[in-house]
Structure 1
Amino acid sequence: MEKTAITAVSGQLGRAIAQKFIATHGTENLIGIARTPQKAKDLGIPVRKADYNNRLEFDDALKGIEILLLVSSMDQPQNRIQQHRNIIEAAKANGVKKIVYTSIIGDPDNNGFSPVVRSNRQTEEDIKNSGLQWVIGRNGLYIDPDLDYLEQYIADGAIINSAGDGLCAYTSRNELAEAYVHMLTEEELNGQIYNLVGNPISQSQLAEYINRAFNTQLEYKAISVEEFRNNRIKDLGELLGTIIGGIYEGIKMGAFNVKSDFEKAAHRPHKSVPEMIEEYKRNG
């Protein structure tokens, strides 16, 4: 097996992918990369230090690597493109053969989340133009944050946002991890973009599924895009509040209601939302 590296293994998605890779392919051919390697030492694999802002660190971190999974930066949209280019250029200079990239679904033009989507689309183009083999996953929205927010939903007695009747194709980090391990290891998946999502549901359906799983009495309450965005900005600040507001505006407009390619990548159907909620409960 070719020597494989996963970036951001100290973060939640990078860690989940590394753990799934270890479970299915062992540790011998896996290298982690992290800005703070000690945060990932429990994975039981070598972890090399590299910061997305530092091209020279990635020149060192990618020596001997043949396949690279690039986890999208969590920085502000205007910083992400160059950060990703640092890694792409280091990969080209150091003999990496293939890049797998974690992108995202969404609308690049019409809401507060669009700058994030645009930055991801630019990196997709940079990777496709790199001359390397590539595979791109466009991740759906995680179900996990909604479940992490359950206490607030219970306090409010409702899920309150601006999505209206819009449908959202959710996913989870565990589901994504399985798909990305296949994308790393199977050549027949190369050269494709995959929407890594499950079946789309409404916010009312989400409330119903949460009620079944947690014996709650939630309902869904729709508010205006402007009111929800202002609420999020008040609680989270201008940058994050605008992004979160834009996500739910995007749901309302249909930007997260996309056809799933998950089964093509993972060779099995995506878990349903009730199944993901039950998995979340089991994992505490």
Structure 2
Amino acid sequence: MKIAVTAASGQLGSSIAKQLINELGKQDVIGIARSPKKANHLGIEIRKGDYDSRQELDLALKDIDVVLLVSGMAEPQKRIQQHRNVIETAKVNGIKKIVYTSIIGDEKNTSFAPIVQSNRQTELDIKNSGLEWVIGRNGIYIEPDLDYLDNYIKEGEIRNCAGKGKCAYTSRKELGYAYTKMLVEGTHNGHTYNLSGEPISQKKLTEYINSVYHTELVYNSISVKDYCAERKEALGEFLGSVISGIYEAIHNGTYNVASDFEKATGRPHQSAIEMIRELKISDNN
């Protein structure tokens, strides 16, 4: 069984490819990347495949049994068509099954909603494709908070608009493990899974970071309006809206969800503090 992983040069695609290699060996895992050189570190066959190019995708998906479609990074409407290019090319090439990395989220009430809506449209397109399918809805990655730690330390705080809302975080490594199971095991076909861990508050996240990194951060909540303005000024209109929308959704309870991780993998999701500890160790190596 040959499995292709799209966006193999990215952090999520790379994590999934590595887990698949551990499970199947290098000969049965194919990476697809817009810039193949960026995925050479995986040590597997890498094929050129841009989501905008049906011609490239057609060549990239030859002789593949199962494809993992990693959600694209383009603006929402463009992303829908990019994903359709992969789905249609998969059908033409006789691929049996498609697994999609979607997201948990609210389709209506925040500035992050358009991205959630685009993911839901791709979910629908996949369900209507006639292929076997599995959909994972990813929780919020915990890694960006740790990547931003130097800024938090400089400011002495974690500041956002999440308030007392809880967020069920995940990590790319945990997702890599889950998607490998979903790709390889047929029992998951036809299922949609929330892939996330235990819901925790921003205050609890701050406590965990302090515990592992020996910092003395405090959590401060500000209004949605102020946080949105702050993020747009720092990151620009589009990305600022995305980030503030995520924290607004946490405030609204969108990410305080029950996890299907154990159904997908056969084991519990790592706890938030376990993920933080593991990521600190991997950063130091």
Fold similarity call, TM over 0.5: yes
Partner of 1:183: 182
Percent of aligned positions that are identical: 60
Structure 2 CA distance, aligned partners of 1:219 and 1:42? 39
- SS at 1:220 equivalent: strand
Specify the code of the residue in structure 2 equivalent to 1:14: G
Deviations 1:130-180 (A, max 9, x none): 000000000000000001111111111111000000000000000000000
Partner of 2:99: 100
- SS at 1:28 equivalent: helix
Partner of 1:89: 88
Question: Displaced runs of 4+ in structure 1, greater than 2 A?
Answer: none
2:275 is the alignment partner of 1:255: no
Structure 1 CA distance, aligned partners of 2:208 and 2:77? 37
| Equivalent residue runs for 1:21-40 within 5 Å | 21-40=20-39
Structure 2 CA distance, aligned partners of 1:238 and 1:247? 14
Unaligned runs of 5+ in 2: none
Residue 197 of structure 1, CA deviation: 0.1
Partner of 1:130: 129
- SS at 1:141 equivalent: coil
- What value does the CA root-mean-square deviation take over the aligned residues? 0.6
Residue 200 of structure 1, CA deviation: 0.2
Structure 1 CA distance, aligned partners of 2:67 and 2:218? 43
Residue 264 of structure 1, CA deviation: 0.5
Deviations 1:223-278 (A, max 9, x none): 00010010000000000001101000000001111110000101100000100001
Unaligned runs of 5+ in 1: none
Q: TM-score, normalised by structure 2?
A: 0.98
Residue 41 of structure 1, CA deviation: 1.1
Structure 1 CA distance, aligned partners of 2:272 and 2:2? 34
Deviations 1:82-125 (A, max 9, x none): 00000000000110000000000010111011011000000000
- SS at 2:136 equivalent: strand
Deviations 1:192-226 (A, max 9, x none): 00000000000000000001001111111000001
Q: TM-score, normalised by structure 1?
A: 0.99
Residue 3 of structure 1, CA deviation: 1.1
Structure 2 CA distance, aligned partners of 1:25 and 1:31? 11
Specify the code of the residue in structure 1 equivalent to 2:36: P
- SS at 1:168 equivalent: strand
Specify the code of the residue in structure 2 equivalent to 1:135: V
Partner of 1:164: 163
Structure 2 CA distance, aligned partners of 1:108 and 1:44? 39
| Equivalent residue runs for 1:2-13 within 5 Å | 2-13=1-12
2:272 is the alignment partner of 1:273: yes
- SS at 2:44 equivalent: coil
2:74 is the alignment partner of 1:75: yes
| Equivalent residue runs for 1:196-275 within 5 Å | 196-275=195-274
Specify the code of the residue in structure 2 equivalent to 1:144: E
Structure 2 CA distance, aligned partners of 1:9 and 1:133? 22
Partner of 1:61: 60
- SS at 1:159 equivalent: strand
- Judge which range, 126-135 or 70-79, deviates more: 70-79
- SS at 2:17 equivalent: helix
Residue 24 of structure 1, CA deviation: 2.0
2:141 is the alignment partner of 1:142: yes
Structure 2 CA distance, aligned partners of 1:90 and 1:79? 17
- SS at 2:124 equivalent: helix
Structure 2 CA distance, aligned partners of 1:103 and 1:125? 11
Structure 1 CA distance, aligned partners of 2:256 and 2:156? 26
- SS at 1:74 equivalent: coil
Structure 2 CA distance, aligned partners of 1:83 and 1:243? 20
